[in-house]
Amino acid sequence: MKVVIQRVIESSVLIDGEVHGKIDQGLMILLGIEHEDTEEDIVWLVKKILNLRIFDDHDGVMNKSVLDINGDILLISQFTLHASTKKGNRPSYILAAKPEVAIPLYERFIDHIQSEFGKKIQTGKFGADMKVSLINDGPVTIIMDTKDKK
């Protein structure tokens, strides 16, 4: 699994012109799922995300997590994070999981992060054409890949 995590002041996702998810201060997360990803990847990634200290403390030092600030989370599925651009100019998405694998993992990711976070998160809709807006705070953008956990 790959994620792009952005510290935001606010973020929203529109589907068919309607707001599907909206948050204030917190994390906007783009999640890409590969066909080899497992429950172990979900557990590791959720723990890392929730404890990632990228919010300022009273001294202006990034020393607080989304849990510490009681922030919000907007999670968007994005298969294009697994684009391969090695050959030619058209990206290949062969590493991205097919929907029959990705959807159950995406849903388990949502369930697990909500359980560990202690509150509901906002989401996009898997496979939908989404318009994502955000105000990146900092800007702070972190990229993580579960293949790098060892």
Catalytic residues: 80
For residue 53, count other CB atoms closer than 10 A to its CB. 13
Give dist(CA 17, CA 109) in Å, integer.
Answer: 26
- Is-contact 74 121, C-beta < 8 A? yes
Helices (H), the chain: 39-51, 99-117
Give dist(CA 9, CA 23) in Å, integer.
Answer: 8
In the structure encoding, which two tokens stand for residue 24, read together? Answer: 């204030």
Cβ neighbours of residue 96 closer than 8 Å, sequence gap 6 or more: 32, 33, 34, 35, 79, 80, 81, 82, 102
